[in-house]
Structures are given as structure tokens and as C-alpha cells.
Structure 1
Amino acid sequence: MSKSFDMIVIGAGPGGYVCAIRAAQLGLTVAIVEREHLGGICLNWGCIPTKAMLRTSEVFHLMHRAKDFGLAAQGISYDLDAVVKRSRGIAKQLNSGVGHLLKKNKVPVFMGEATVPAKGVVSVKSDNGVQELTATSIVLATGARARELPGLEADGDLVWTYKHALVPKRMPKRLLVIGSGAIGIEFASFYNALGADTTVVEVMDRILPVEDAEISAFAKKQFEAQGMTIREAALVKQLDRGAGSVTAHIEQGGHVTKDTFDTVISAVGIVGNTEGLGLEALGVTVERSHVVTDPQCRTGVEGVFAIGDLAGAPWLAHKASHEGVMVAELVAGGHPHAVSADSIAGCTYCQPQIASVGLTEAQATEQGYDIKVGRFPFIGNGKAIALGEPEGLVKTVFDSKTGALLGAHMVGAEVTELIQGYVIGRQLETTEEDLMQTVFPHPTLSEMMHESVLDAWGRAIHF
């Protein structure tokens, strides 16, 4: 097997393996190096297995509402081991699929720890020894891992990271989730739905702090209605670990209270996997654990690129994949557009779901736009009522002068599927007039997207 390539990709997550496949499609010779799992964190320990578990909790929740749909269900219960087994099986299936795709595209995979000892050189250490590979271009796609704060470190028993939460040894009875970003809220939603007494602590002044404030407030009310305790502008100062329990010291409003839990999930962000690669000696700039790049993922060192979580926010698999395609096309001599972060949708698969793209209302105002804001509630939509999902909101933000869609924000059933309509609208530089003239099918949840646009100009029909 040749050890000299046009491109070597380090990391086989959703950024790395997509980059490698696209490069191969473009005629480049390309290899990929992975130290652990094909598919990376997303496929094995993130996006996919969490969605499998959240689907279980959604069905479980609906089973308890059987009477609402004219159905009867008795003795409703769950088997946590079977829930986890299904989730892990799906991850394994897709892991194998990535291997098949790489083989199909004739991309050799080198399993081992990679370092970049010199420009154009990748050293791979495995159980079989060390191999040296060379390439004109090197793409860093090593991803990120859970951030751990002093005193809040995970131990896999009482204090969990997302990995522990995906393969739980037990069902928590009293659960503390530290952090209310997408990871924290998704696990809070899953375990709460299965019966855990769940408390979420968020250091910022509201949960889901990257979302539009109105959407965050709506979601908070729904979570509290489901029995969650939400503590905002609060900080976990200390965890006292005992025999089978943890006492959390929680500071809020200048006062510290103590509460006891049997399980804690720490979801306080991520740090980039930059260690051990030799980046500093190579001249690659790393700030706050993430590689600094230009809009086309160049690191400033000729022939070295960084994509995905390693290259900073937004930390989303689809952003990583798109960056991978962009870099492959750039290396192959193309002229791809840079990935625009504010046109990438964020999706949170809690119950209710949350999805957004572009500027929030506050951000648009801060940036000096004269805005028009439209809203439409799920209760005004026939399909939502028929589904038994009348709680939700679609919100749109427009530039009143140009009609440009600045942002869209949703909370409610299936909004993670709906948001792509607005993503396409932003990509095509759609105006309010284009959206108003678009005929949305009936009866669908998507009609609310139309009504929200109409509402921004005082033209909503059904509310």
C-alpha cells in the first residue's frame, strides 16, 4: 500500500470521513487516520445514539398519553438495558456503514494515534508499530471532548459525562444536569421522561442561552410543566461525593443551597482535541483549545487545514461535514464558497424540539437592523392539533427595509425537520415576498412557517 497521498485526513468523524470521500471523488489520493471509531463522536457517542434514546423517551411519553388518542395502554414500563442496546446497535450499524463508504471510495484507513512531526508528514502509532505517511495537504479533523471543571470531574459512577449517560449503569432517581446547552437539555429531557426527578442548573441567566430569548422562555415553561426544576443564573460550586449520593452546593442569587442527588451529568461544554498532534511546533495557532482558521479552514500553515469541532463553533456535525467538502474541493483546485456560520441550523432534540438559524431578535437589533418580527403558535395549526401537539411557536426575524430573512426560531414538535425550509431560504437570499408567494401544503406543520412570515407584515390569516 502506498504511503504517499495528495491528502491525509486525521479523524474519521462526520467532518473527516466526508472530507476524505469527497476528495476521493475529485480524483485525489487520500488516506484517513482514526484512533478509535469510524464515524467519530457524533455517530458513536453523540448525535445518533442520543437520538435513538430520545426516540424511546418520546414513544414512552406518547404511550402515557394513549387515552388522548382514543387508545388504551396498561402496565406501561421500560427496560433500560434494552433501550441502551438499541441505541448502541444503531451506532454500530452506522459505524460499519462509514467503513463501507470509505472502502467503496478506495480510501485506506490507518487505525492509530496520529502526530504531525513535520510539514507534509503524518506519523501513525498503532499496536503494530509506527508508520510514516506523507501528503501535500493535511486536514485536521480530530474533534472535541467533554469539558471538565475542577471539582466537577466525572467518575463514571456518581458523576457522568455524555458517554456515561449513553450507557447508564442504573436509572437515576434524582438527577442533576449541569449545563443547559443542547447536550445537557437532551439528557435532561430523556431521563426526566423516564421518571427521573430532574434538576437543570445553568450559569447564564436563561436556559438554552444561544437560542432566541423568547424560545428559551417558552421551552422553560414546557420543561417545568413536565416536572423539571430549572435553576438559571446559578452555579454548582462544589460536589460532595458520598456512598451512593452527591451533595451539590448551588449558588444562586448570592446564596448557596445544598441538594442531594444520586446522579450528576456534567454538560458544561467541550474542548478541542489538539494535544499530542505536534501543532505548536508546526506553527499552527491554538486558542482556547481550538485551532484558529480563516473562513476556508486554512490554519496559516501551508497545506494544513482544520475542520469541525476542532476549528471552533458552531459545534455541529453538519457544519463539520460541509467544511470537509469545502476543503476537499479547495485542495482539488475548486473555488468553493466559505461556510457561513449564521446560515447553519442548530437543532436540539429535547421535548419539545428546538431549532434555529440566523440571528436572534436581540442580535438583529444589536447589529442595527430595523426589524419586523413574525410569530405563529402551534395552537393555530390544524396538523399540530390533529397530532396532539398544540404547544409550540414559530418565530421569524426580517430586515424591514430589504425583506431579507435574518433569522428563524422554532420550538415544538418536529421543528428540527421544519427548520431546513428557512435554511434554504437564507441560502437563496429569499425575501419576505418570496416566502409569502410560496404555496405551503395543507394540512402540514410547515404552514406555520408561512403564517409566521405573514405575521411579520400583519397579514397572518389563522391567528
Structure 2
Amino acid sequence: MASPYDMIVIGAGPGGYVAAIRGAQLGLKVAIVEREHLGGICLNWGCIPTKAMLRSSEVFHLMHRAKEFGLKAEGISYDLDAVVKRSRGVAKQLSSGVAHLMKKNKITVVMGAASIPAKGKVSVKTDKGTEELTAKAIIVATGARARELPGLEADGDLVWTYKHALEPKRMPKKLLVIGSGAIGIEFASFYNTLGADTTVVEVMDRILPVEDADISAFARKSFEKQGMKIMQKAIVKKLDRGKGTVTAHIETGGKTETHDFDTVISAVGIVGNVEGLGLEEIGVKIDRTHVVTDEYCRAGVEGLYAIGDIAGAPWLAHKASHEGVMVAELIAGKNHVHPVDPDSIAGCTYCQPQVASVGLTEAQAKDKGYEVKVGNFPFIGNGKAIALGEAEGFVKTVFDAKTGELLGAHMIGAEVTELIQGYVVGRQLETTEEDLMNTVFPHPTLSEMMHESVLDAYDRAIHY
């Protein structure tokens, strides 16, 4: 039996490894257990490698626009294997960085599959056998994996999950993407930009269904302009797999049509990695593959916490990281630890054009009973956007008409995934419309659109 730890973290993704580091900073004796890759899915198979691939497609897109900028580029093409190799290299570099951080912070790393046989105990199956660990507190950060629907299961050949799409054996010619959340739309954007004939099927009445309705509508028009086919309120009922071909039976408007594709990417959500941990046996409640927790990520058993994707929506790396910090501080006995507010967590989608948002949509705010003031400002009214050749998009802000509280902000266009942080900070500081109006934004920048959108909500926009 190993000497007791103050804290054991199960899972070394962006929630787990951050929790381990924060715990070590606070003087705790920490161990972290990981069955596959340091950095988890996000770093190895999600956030990071997808952004590397999307950057390649973005550059490819810009090369085709060279003439607009007074430049010449001829014989433009791509090497898919080289694009993937760069993406994997980026992931490998960052995974190595996590290993360095574990060593730097004197965190014990145990590679293997963990289970919790009893309160305060972790059993790890390693290559060398079973290792038994004990701790005063245990954090479960095992993340999630792609959901697979009956009849739509991935085979790695004709039907792919995100992992297959990150290491494609070939370039799809005719691609079906099932699901239009962030993962589906990002892969649709990547492969469409590289020339795949791309169709996106969404069961809801609009793509990017968690975004503000105005953002969804603008995105659809933009994607269709790029050549994508968008099918909303549609369901893929089944896939008939042949030699090099998949026939999809798609139901829409009460009728079922068949369409042939050579590749299908299934992006219909995620399920939590709760199996094999022994959670229910020790009294943890599981609801639809996710651990039920309170606002401080406590899992209903003394000394046991669950963070990140396994603890439910929003399924975002930055949410997991902040929960990890919060829980580590709770375990270390720090005072004034604040729970993470889901409504103040930004969501970002790295398609072309990019999409970013934080807080309530206009419809959500009205449903909650708010009287709202809404501002909009288009990229075409911004000097920097025009100079960049990126005049497509807009910024939308939603305020409480009575108090001036910033309820939500929603953007679509170039680099909005970087801009959104301004509104995130504003919400964290409980800003009002007056604070934002009186803030001096630098010129010429895309951020000026944020200012103008606020001004527009109060009929004071200057440049549009």
C-alpha cells in the first residue's frame, strides 16, 4: 500500500491535470492516474489538434483569396498527410508539456485504469499489476467520449468519429456530417474548405442550436454560400454500408430520402466515462452517464468530487479547468471558494466564420422574464475588419433594460473566439452598459465592434 495522498485525481485531461497542479501549489501531496494520454482528449484528440487542422484550412482558404490582397498564388494545393502530421505534432508537444508540469510540481503520475473500491481508495491496473492508493480526497475527471447511435456506429472506414476525422485515411469526396454542434460544424468547415462536397444534418430546427437564433441563421447562410448543404429538422434513420459507399436514409418533413456518401462523420454528442470506476457501488448517483454533483462538484460521498465533462454541461475544457482549481482549493481548506457559474462560461466554435458566445441568448433572457435591450453591429461597419478583408459577421449584445446588466453576448466573424473574452471579463466584474460605453476601445481594432454593439442597444451607435 502506497503512503496516503492528500488528493488523487483520476484523469489527466484539462480538468484533472489542472486540479493536480493547483493542489500541489497549495502544498498537497498529489497523485494523478491516467489510462491513456496526459492532457486527455482535449489536448490529444480534441481542442488542440482540431484547431491545428482548422488553421491549415484557413490558410488554404486565404491563399485562394490572394488576388484580393494584391498577391499572386498559383497552383494552390494541399497535402492532407502533412496537415495531419502537423496537427499530431502540435498535440504531442503539448502532451509532453503536461508531463513536464507534473514533474515540476512533484505530482506522482500513475499510468493505468483506475477504480474506486471504497471511500478514499483508488485501485489502478497498470502494466506491472495492480497498485493500491489511498487519499483523503478523490477527484474524478475521466471525461467523455463520442456518443454512438444504434445503426450509426463508427467503423473507422466509412463512418468516422472525431478521432478518425483527425487522422483520415483519405480525403472525403462526398461527406455527411451528422450533428451541427461545435464538433460537427468544425469538421464540416475543415473538410468543406479542402473541397469535400459536404452535407450537414441537424435534428433541431436550426444548426448550432445552443447559439442565439440570429447567429444560427447567419451561420447557415454563410455555410451555404461556401457550398455546404444544410438539412435542419432532419434525422438520419439508418446507414446502408457498401463498398466505398454509404447510403443514408434521411427523414425530413415526414418524408425519407436516400443520399449516397463516401464518408460519414457522426457528431451527435458525448457520453460520460463512468463505467468501471465503481461509482454507483459507493453511493454516487449517475444521471444519463454523468455524475450528479452540487455546485462545488461534490459527488454525494465524503471526500469525492467530479469535475469536467463527466459532471455534465457545459462540456468545455475551460469549465473543467476552473472546476479543478475550485475543488483543489476546497480540499486544501481555502476560504471564499466560489463555484463556477455556467452562464459566465464562453463557448467557441472555430469554423469559418468563427462563432463565440457567453451568457443568455435573447430568447433565453425573454423566457426568464427579462425586459431586454439588444444591440447589433456588423463587421462591414468596422475599419479593421474591412482592412483585413473580413467584413462578414456581427456582434450582438443583450442587456437587462431595467438594470443595464450584460445578460449575454453573441458573435460571428473573424477572430471572435478571441474577442469574446472581453465580455466574459465584463460579466465576471458585473459590468453594466454604462461601464462598457465609457470604456475606450483601441482603434483600429475588431474590438471596437463590441463597443458599438453596446452603444446600439441604447440607440447610440456611431458608425452604422
TM superposition score normalised by structure 1:
1.00
Where 1:6 maps in the other structure, the secondary structure is strand
Aligned partner of 1:166 in structure 2 is 166
Deviations 1:317-343 (A, max 9, x none): 000000000000000001310000000
Structure 2 distance, partners of 1:189, 1:453, is 30
Deviation at residue 348 of structure 1 after TM alignment: 0.2
* Correspondence list, 1:115-194, <5 A: 115-194=115-194
Structure 2 distance, partners of 1:2, 1:397, is 54
Q: Aligned AA for 2:24?
A: A
Deviation at residue 2 of structure 1 after TM alignment: 4.6
Structure 1 distance, partners of 2:157, 2:337, is 47
Aligned partner of 2:259 in structure 1 is 259
Q: Aligned AA for 1:177?
A: V
Deviation at residue 392 of structure 1 after TM alignment: 0.4
Does the 8 Å contact 1:12/1:141 carry over to 2?
yes
Aligned partner of 1:74 in structure 2 is 74
Q: Aligned AA for 1:9?
A: V
Structure 2 distance, partners of 1:83, 1:449, is 34
Where 1:215 maps in the other structure, the secondary structure is helix
Where 1:31 maps in the other structure, the secondary structure is strand
Aligned partner of 2:225 in structure 1 is 225
> Are 2:400 and 1:399 aligned?
yes
> Are 2:296 and 1:296 aligned?
yes
Aligned partner of 1:449 in structure 2 is 450
Deviations 1:10-48 (A, max 9, x none): 000000000000000000001000000000000000000
Aligned partner of 2:370 in structure 1 is 369
Does the 8 Å contact 1:3/1:132 carry over to 2?
no
Q: Which runs of 4+ in 1 moved over 6 A?
A: none
Deviations 1:96-137 (A, max 9, x none): 000000100000100000000000000000110001000000
> Are 2:410 and 1:409 aligned?
yes
Using a 3 Å threshold, how does the CA distance of structure 1 residues 423 and 438 change in structure 2: closer, same or farther?
same
Where 1:455 maps in the other structure, the secondary structure is helix
Structure 1 distance, partners of 2:299, 2:194, is 45
Aligned partner of 2:337 in structure 1 is 336
Aligned partner of 2:269 in structure 1 is 269
Aligned partner of 1:20 in structure 2 is 20
Deviation at residue 4 of structure 1 after TM alignment: 1.5
Does the 8 Å contact 1:5/1:31 carry over to 2?
yes
Could you tell which deviates more after superposition, 169-178 or 333-342?
Answer: 333-342
Sequence identity (%): 81
Where 1:330 maps in the other structure, the secondary structure is helix
Where 2:459 maps in the other structure, the secondary structure is coil
Structure 2 distance, partners of 1:301, 1:380, is 55
Structure 2 distance, partners of 1:121, 1:3, is 12
Where 2:90 maps in the other structure, the secondary structure is helix
Structure 1 distance, partners of 2:377, 2:127, is 58
Aligned partner of 2:425 in structure 1 is 424
Aligned partner of 2:113 in structure 1 is 113
Taking only aligned residues, the RMSD between alpha carbons, in angstroms, comes to: 0.6
Aligned partner of 1:38 in structure 2 is 38
Structure 2 distance, partners of 1:37, 1:113, is 12
Deviation at residue 70 of structure 1 after TM alignment: 0.4
Does the 8 Å contact 2:2/2:132 carry over to 1?
no
Where 2:77 maps in the other structure, the secondary structure is coil
